[in-house]
Copies of this chain bind each other. A is one copy, B any other.
Amino acid sequence: MSATKLDPRVKRTRKLLWDAILDLIIEADRAGHDLEAITIQDIADRAEVNRVTFYLHYKTKSELLGDAIESRLSELTTAFETSPSPINLLESAKGYQLLFDHIAQYAALYKVLLGERGTGYVSNRIIDYMTDYASRQINLPAEISGFVSSTLLVRASASSVVSIVTWWLREGMPYSPEQMAAFCFQFCCHGFTSFLSPGASSPTA
């Protein structure tokens, strides 16, 4: 947002740091280590940058991680914003499809960030975005069904979607993104029991 263009060296260094921390996160997980065990020296080494240089750009590891994650997530939000037709999460599986495609693309990374060792930061960012986006599209009354706020409803649904994503990654992605998108669509709209009645309207039908 700043008017002054960034020094290309600065841009390059930050990119190196982003790639380094995201790589290391995946590796640490594979090796069964804790994410906190990644040191700033590790990041600097991997980025082939002096440790002090890290501090020229970021105060803390989480600050760097935040930036690095944003650069990934922005690809997802861009997909939503640039969709040719508007995306309604209650009327088609398209939005869920975009989500699962994006997750699948960076599966190794999201597996860690959303997994048991993750910190809730990423899931919250995704939930926040989906809640905002859906609220803009759907336009619900403030209060529904006596007591629940529509925000709670939307947010709870978004949370379930992220939970499902997390489960999917943990299980090794046993279904295709299309199948998962379809499942999410049905689950969000019609809930658990919609899967139980034999003649239920399957979204794939």
Contacts and interface: CB of A to CB of B under 8 A. Distances in A.
A188 B159 CA distance: 13
A144 B187 contact: no
A50 B199 CA distance: 64
Stoichiometry, copies per complex: 4
Contact of A120 (B120, B156, B174, B187): B120
Give the contact-size bracket for chain A. 35 or more
A167 B156 CA distance: 8
Interface stretch (A8-16, A77-85, A98-106, A147-155): A147-155
A173 interface: no
B90 A146 contact: no
Given A90-B192, A116-B119, A157-B160, 18 more contacts: A34-B62, A36-B36, A116-B120, A116-B124, A117-B120, A118-B120, A119-B120, A144-B195, A146-B204, A147-B179, A148-B195, A152-B164, A153-B187, A156-B187, A160-B163, A189-B192, A189-B193, A191-B194
